[in-house]
């Protein structure tokens, strides 16, 4: 028997909570367009609950930021899993509607200020779909000037009310002593905060120790505030070649750095670290602006030959390191701040990754999705998709074409842009 139910029970009225569920799966561009469907849709889309719900869904599909010659593009990690040989048009930046179209007339006013210097702005980090951009310029009178923008590439909104930060460098040699930055969200007060920090040598002691200066800018405030100094010095401060592998990472209202105890001087080298106990994670709570030190996994018991790395993967703090020049080990802190919750997620024999033996291994795990992981060798910037179960390796080949279809950048050879890739998720989040 067949029941003619189509007209008996038509979907005439879909309640708002179901509309919200549907819309939360859409791209930001489509959502902004659908704001003018009706008044109730407009209200629903503008509501903070919807913005949060959309962000939660979008966070399951993270992108990595890729610096092009004329701007940035964002590529979903998932695309790399589906097809490790992908091609990007360099003008994707201008054409792809989810990216900032700087040639769009309606946007020119917004970008006028930043447009001529766009290449000077580097991505510090991204949080909830917002990207913190920073530029450093030489200012005759004041040493260095740092300028900032917070940019939501999906909604194309730029927030510029972040004060400049100045750094006086008496000698040109001291320029590397300038500030480093981190970006995070304080979920207690629901404010975004930018952290600036630098370390200088403190010669007053018998042994030279680092003395840090840490400043915070809360969005909505008008100035930078000094906060407590670091109890230990972040590893990325030390002028090491691969220090950027250990940039600050933000997670649930905290900013975290891999740090080293008994720091000596600016030209400290990795080989001076002799005990595994010297490594610690320093965590800044963005609401109280105080520090905590987190211990590393108990199973991590030998100083590896190359720097270990912390990252946020699958919403958890992860710690990875080399083991005896033969394996790559990754730990996950299942419950943030709980040392007992460190769990070894995997261990990969370098041979399985089929990486070129001529190079050293400075591995960083960029992404984990089920059995598939994306691993970068920071030494030669080769990245692979590796399947933990069937041990299949696929080399990532990312080509960037220009308008004439000529390859301008190949990411399967030495190019450090991949190394500087940051996580980014599309969102409707705004700051005001």
Partner 1 sequence: MAAEKSSIKIITLIAADGSVFEVEPNIVKEMKTVQSYIDELDQNTVSIPLPNVFGNDLAMIIEYCKKHASEEETKEAKEEFDFEFVKRMKSDDKLRLLQAASYLNMESFLQFMAKAIAAEIENQSVEFVRDYFQIESDFTPEEEAELRKENEWAFK
Q: Which stretch binds partner 1 (CB under 8 A): 1-9, 126-134, 266-274, 416-424?
A: 1-9
User: How far apart are CB 1 and partner 1 at their closest, in Å?
Assistant: 8
- Angle ∠(317,321,327) on CA atoms, nearest 5: 130
Q: Which stretch binds partner 1 (CB under 8 A): 24-32, 182-190, 274-282, 288-296?
A: 24-32
Of 43 and 85, the one with the shorter C-beta distance to partner 1 is 43
Q: Which stretch binds partner 1 (CB under 8 A): 8-16, 74-82, 218-226, 408-416?
A: 8-16
Q: Which stretch binds partner 1 (CB under 8 A): 28-36, 202-210, 355-363, 424-432?
A: 28-36
Among 12, 112, 223, 358, binds partner 1 (CB under 8 A): 12
Give the contact letters, 131-170, x = binds to partner 1 (CB under 8 A), - = no: -------------------------x--------------
**Integer Cα distance of 83 and 132 in angstroms:** 29
User: End-to-end CA distance of the chain, in Å?
Assistant: 59
User: How far apart are CB 96 and partner 1 at their closest, in Å?
Assistant: 11
User: With binding defined as CB under 8 A, does residue 39 bind partner 1?
Assistant: yes
User: How far apart are CB 15 and partner 1 at their closest, in Å?
Assistant: 8
Sign for the pseudo-dihedral over CA of 211, 319, 376, 273: positive
Of 94 and 306, the one with the shorter C-beta distance to partner 1 is 94
Among 97, 117, 290, 351, binds partner 1 (CB under 8 A): 97
Of 41 and 118, the one with the shorter C-beta distance to partner 1 is 41
User: How far apart are CB 5 and partner 1 at their closest, in Å?
Assistant: 4
User: With binding defined as CB under 8 A, does residue 107 bind partner 1?
Assistant: yes
User: How far apart are CB 370 and partner 1 at their closest, in Å?
Assistant: 9
Element (H, E) at 17: helix 16-23
Q: 275, exposed or middle or buried, with CB in 10 Å at 0-12, 13-18, 19+? A: exposed
Find the helix packing angle between 16-23 and 48-58, rounded to 10°. 40
Sign for the pseudo-dihedral over CA of 321, 324, 327, 329: negative
**Integer Cα distance of 425 and 65 in angstroms:** 10
Q: What is the DSSP secondary-structure string of 331-396?
A: EEESSTT-GGGEEEEEEEEGGGGT--TTS---EEEEEEETTEEEEEETTTTEEEEEETTT--EEE-
Alpha-carbon distances of 206 from 11, 201, 213, 264, 267, rounded to whole Å: 78, 12, 21, 11, 17
Alpha-carbon distances of 307 from 263, 347, 378, rounded to whole Å: 15, 17, 11
Number of residues that bind partner 1 (CB under 8 A): 40
Among 16, 32, 123, 151, binds partner 1 (CB under 8 A): 32
Q: Which tokens is 17 given?
A: 């909570």
Binding site for partner 1 (CB under 8 A): 1-3, 5-6, 8-12, 14-15, 17-19, 21-27, 29-30, 32-39, 41-42, 97, 101, 104, 106-107, 156
């Amino acid at each position: 028997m067949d029941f003619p139910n189509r007209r008996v029970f038509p979907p005439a009225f879909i309640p708002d909570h179901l509309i919200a569920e549907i819309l939360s799966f859409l791209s930001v561009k489509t959502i902004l367009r659908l704001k003018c469907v009706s008044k109730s849709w407009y209200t629903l889309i503008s509501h903070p609950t919807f913005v949060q719900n959309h962000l939660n869904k979008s966070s399951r599909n993270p992108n990595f930021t890729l610096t092009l010659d004329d701007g940035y593009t964002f590529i979903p990690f998932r695309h790399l899993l589906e097809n490790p040989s992908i091609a990007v048009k360099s003008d994707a930046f201008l054409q792809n509607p989810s990216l900032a179209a700087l040639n769009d007339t309606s946007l020119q006013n917004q970008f006028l200020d930043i447009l001529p210097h766009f290449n000077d702005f580097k991505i510090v980090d991204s949080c909830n779909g917002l990207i913190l951009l920073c530029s450093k310029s030489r200012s005759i009178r004041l040493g260095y000037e740092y300028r900032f923008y917070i940019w939501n590439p999906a909604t194309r909104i730029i927030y510029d009310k972040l004060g400049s930060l100045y750094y006086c460098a008496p000698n040109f040699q001291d320029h590397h002593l300038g500030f480093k930055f981190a970006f995070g969200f304080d979920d207690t007060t629901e404010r975004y905060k930018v952290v600036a920090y630098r370390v200088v040598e403190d010669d007053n002691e018998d042994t030279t120790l680092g003395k840090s200066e840490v400043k915070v800018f809360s969005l909505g405030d008008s100035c930078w505030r000094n906060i407590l100094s670091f109890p230990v010095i972040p590893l990325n401060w030390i002028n090491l070649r691969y220090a950027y592998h250990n940039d600050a990472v933000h997670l649930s209202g905290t900013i975290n750095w891999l740090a080293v105890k008994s720091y000596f001087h600016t030209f400290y080298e990795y080989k001076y670290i002799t005990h595994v106990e010297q490594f610690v994670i320093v965590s800044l709570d963005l609401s109280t602006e105080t520090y905590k030190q987190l211990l590393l996994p108990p199973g991590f018991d030998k100083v590896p030959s190359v720097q270990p790395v912390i990252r946020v993967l699958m919403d958890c703090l992860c710690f990875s390191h080399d083991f005896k020049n033969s394996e790559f080990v990754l730990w996950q802190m299942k419950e943030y701040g709980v040392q007992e919750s460190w769990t070894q997620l995997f261990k990969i024999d370098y041979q399985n990754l089929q990486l070129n033996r001529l190079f050293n291994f400075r591995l960083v795990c960029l992404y984990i999705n089920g059995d598939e992981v994306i691993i970068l060798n920071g030494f030669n910037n080769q990245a692979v998709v590796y399947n933990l179960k069937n041990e299949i390796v696929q080399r990532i080949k990312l080509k960037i074409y220009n308008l004439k279809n000529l390859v301008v950048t190949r990411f399967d050879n030495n190019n450090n842009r991949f190394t500087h890739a940051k996580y980014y998720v599309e969102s409707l989040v705004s700051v005001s």
